[in-house]
Amino acid sequence: MNSLNENQYELSAIDTNGETSESDDNSIQSPNLIGPQLGSIVALKKIRYVLLISVTLCLIVLAIVIFVTLTHRQENLVTIMARTTPITTMSTTSQTTNTSSMLITSVSMTVITASMPMLNISVDAQWEQNGITIIEGRQKDNATYRVYHPHGLFIDDNQNILIADHRNHRIDEWKQGDKEVVVLFGGRKGTKLGQLHHPVDVLIDRASNTLIICDQSNRRILRLFRHNLNKTAEILIKNIRCAGLAIDHQRYLYISDNEHHQVKRYDIDGRNQTVAAGTGRQGNASDELNRPTYIFMDRQQNVFVSDTDNHRVMQWNKGNNGQGSGSNQLDCPEYLVFDRTGNLYVADSYNNRIQKYLIK
């Protein structure tokens, strides 16, 4: 009995161990079946998370690139637009360009605003160093196709150039592609209303389609209609030694009076004179001028006065090429202007020619 019971006990123990082993085997195999599935789910979630982060970062980088590009373009544009602004005080800055050996320096002074067609030129723009002579004339005569000491230039809406032909005592017009100029007004030195004496500047009042002329040695400002240039002009302003003209979109006329060292503003009919710049005293302080001449504009639509005898705001530098008559030289340049594509035109006075510098 005892042995039988022992055998039964041993068998029972064996069975119990067997069941226990089988149960242990099942408990070990269960995680092996579930583990790969959980791992796949976790890996998939990680991949989605990484992709989401990558896409987000790409969008952020793209937004930054677009913002920087737009900001850079905006900063690199020189925009000249027609707008009127109250009299402004400009801080001292200095800028040198390689444009035909020209040095431009702006100084602290009172300036005003004038009107010119919209013009966009990059601050990084460069021009060809060799100019193209589009109008030439070295002879001291009154030939209709020659210019003699040209001064003020004005480009109209058709990109034709009006020229204050100083020593020929007339206003010329040059049309794109031509080799000669056409005389619009004057040609004989004199004081009559059909004559000029050393004109130095000219502009067009688009609203009335009239020419306004700085007749310097006659000490007057003349006006005449473009469609009736054969008629005599009318005197707009008397007793002023004008050296430069500008007009804003409200049709206020600005005149540099280099005898009284001021820039003056008038209604378009020559009335209601006010002082826009200068104190009336010759000097080099920030509120004074010394023989102001031509008027030009910056990107903020401020008018820069060429303060001649103070050697500031704008001056031509002979540079490395020196004074001369070569294509990369100038001799007493008097005036400059840009066309709508950014090409530069220079009145090369003592070379009796107009030079064109193509924008690169």
Angle at 186 (CA atoms; ends 182, 192), nearest 5 degrees: 170
Task: Kindly state whether residues 57 and 97 are assigned to the same domain.
Answer: no
Residue that the structure tokens 């601050």 belong to: 123
Among 31, 59, 75, identify where a domain stops. Answer: 75
Among 45, 75, 105, identify where a domain stops. Answer: 75
Give SS3 for 199: strand
Task: Note the pLDDT tens digit of each residue in 11-60.
Answer: 344 444 444 444 444 444 455 555 566 667 767 777 888 888 888 888 89
Question: To the nearest 10°, the Cα dihedral for 186, 188, 189, 193?
Answer: -50
Sheet containing strand 274-277, edge to edge, reads 242-247, 253-257, 262-266, 274-277
Among 25, 58, 75, identify where a domain stops. Answer: 75
Task: Kindly state whether residues 180 and 134 are assigned to the same domain.
Answer: yes
Which residues does residue 172 pair with via DSSP β-bridges, in sequence order? 163, 183
Task: Kindly state whether residues 89 and 178 are assigned to the same domain.
Answer: yes
**0.75 exceeded by pTM:** no
Instruction: Note down the domain range covering 18.
Output: 1-75
Task: Kindly state whether residues 190 and 51 are assigned to the same domain.
Answer: no
Task: Kindly state whether residues 90 and 132 are assigned to the same domain.
Answer: yes
Task: Note the pLDDT tens digit of each residue in 71-119.
Answer: 655 444 433 333 333 333 333 333 333 333 333 333 333 333 334 445 6
- When mean pLDDT is compared across 217-221, 265-269, 319-323, 329-333, the lowest value belongs to 319-323
Predicted local distance difference test score (pLDDT) of residue 36: 61
**Within a 13 Å sphere around the CA of 49, how many CA atoms are in the beta-carbon half?**
6
Task: Kindly state whether residues 71 and 138 are assigned to the same domain.
Answer: no
Encode 138-148: b = buried (16+ Cβ within 10 Å), e = exposed.
eeeebeeebbb
The CATH number that applies at residue 287 is: 2.120.10
- When mean pLDDT is compared across 13-27, 167-181, 253-267, 330-344, the lowest value belongs to 13-27
Task: Kindly state whether residues 46 and 171 are assigned to the same domain.
Answer: no
Task: Kindly state whether residues 265 and 134 are assigned to the same domain.
Answer: yes
Higher pLDDT, 158 or 82: 158
**Amino acid, res. 359:** I
Band of pLDDT at residue 143, cut at 50, 70 and 90: low
Task: Kindly state whether residues 220 and 149 are assigned to the same domain.
Answer: yes
Whether residue 240 contacts residue 258, with contact meaning beta carbons closer than 8 Å, is answered with: no
Which residues does residue 205 pair with via DSSP β-bridges, in sequence order? 210
Band of pLDDT at residue 219, cut at 50, 70 and 90: very high
Mean pLDDT across the chain, nearest whole number?
73
Count of domains in the chain? 2
Task: Kindly state whether residues 171 and 273 are assigned to the same domain.
Answer: yes
Distance in angstroms (rounded) separating the CA atoms of residues 111 and 278: 9
Task: Kindly state whether residues 136 and 172 are assigned to the same domain.
Answer: yes
Task: Kindly state whether residues 8 and 94 are assigned to the same domain.
Answer: no
